[in-house]
Amino acid sequence: MATQAIEASVSTQGWLRGWRAEWAENKLAYWLLIPSILGFILFLIYPIASMFTSAFSTLDTMGRITQVGTLKNFADLAGDEQLPMIIRQTVTFAFGTVLMEVILAFPLALILNSYFPGRALAKALILIPWAMPYAVSAITWKWIFHGQMGSLNYFLMQVGLIKENIVWLGSPTTAFGAAMFVEVWSSVAFMTVTFLAGLQGIPPHIYDAAKMDGAGAWQEFRDMTLPQLRTVFMIVTLLSIIWAFRSFAVIWILTKGDPIYRTDIAVTYLYKLAFERLYFGRGFALAVCIFVVLTIFSILYTRLLGSQEEK
Partner 1 sequence: MLKHSLSRRDFMRVLAATATPVLLAACAAPAAAPGSGASGESQPAGEIVEVRFVAMDYDSRMQPDTQELVDAFNSSQGAIMATLEVVGWPDGRNLLLTQISGGQAPDVFNGSGQWLLEFNAAGETAPLDDLLGSDFLANFQPSGIEAMTVEGKLYGLPYFLDPRGLYYRTDLFTEQGLKAPETWADVRAAAKALNSPPTMYGIGMGPGDYWWYAWVGAFGGGNNLSRWTEDGHSRIASEEGLAAAQYLADIVLTDQSAQPSPSTANRDSDLQPLFLAGQMAILETGSWMPTIITNDAPDLQFDLAPLPVASADLKHANAFWPDCVMMANQSKNKEAAAEFLKVQFNAENRLKFALQRGVIPERIDVGKDPGYLDPNDPLTKYKEFFVQELATAHNVFETPWPATGSEDDNAINNAMAQIWLGEKSVADAMTAAAKEIDERHGL
Q: Which of 10, 21, 64, 78 binds partner 1 (CB under 8 A)?
A: 64
Q: Which of 167, 215, 294, 300 binds partner 1 (CB under 8 A)?
A: 167
Q: Which of 60, 92, 201, 296 binds partner 1 (CB under 8 A)?
A: 60
164 binds partner 1 (CB under 8 A): yes
Nearer to partner 1, 69 or 214 (CB): 69
Q: Which of 70, 113, 140, 165 binds partner 1 (CB under 8 A)?
A: 165
Q: Which of 28, 121, 159, 212 binds partner 1 (CB under 8 A)?
A: 28
User: How many residues of this chain bind partner 1 (CB under 8 A)?
Assistant: 46
Nearer to partner 1, 104 or 278 (CB): 278
71 binds partner 1 (CB under 8 A): no
Closest Cα partner for 141 from 131, 129, 125? 129
Site for partner 1 in 190-249 (CB under 8 A): none
Q: Which of 169, 182, 193, 236 binds partner 1 (CB under 8 A)?
A: 169
Beta carbons within 10 angstroms of residue 165's beta carbon:
16
143 binds partner 1 (CB under 8 A): no
76 binds partner 1 (CB under 8 A): no
Instruction: Provide the minimum distance between the beta carbon of 258 and partner 1 in the complex, in angstroms, as a whole number.
Output: 5
Instruction: Provide the minimum distance between the beta carbon of 297 and partner 1 in the complex, in angstroms, as a whole number.
Output: 25
158 binds partner 1 (CB under 8 A): no
15 binds partner 1 (CB under 8 A): no
Residues of this chain that interact with partner 1 (CB under 8 A) are 19-20, 23, 27-28, 30-31, 34, 37-38, 41-42, 45-46, 49-50, 53-54, 60-66, 68, 147-149, 164-167, 169-172, 175, 255, 258-260, 275-278
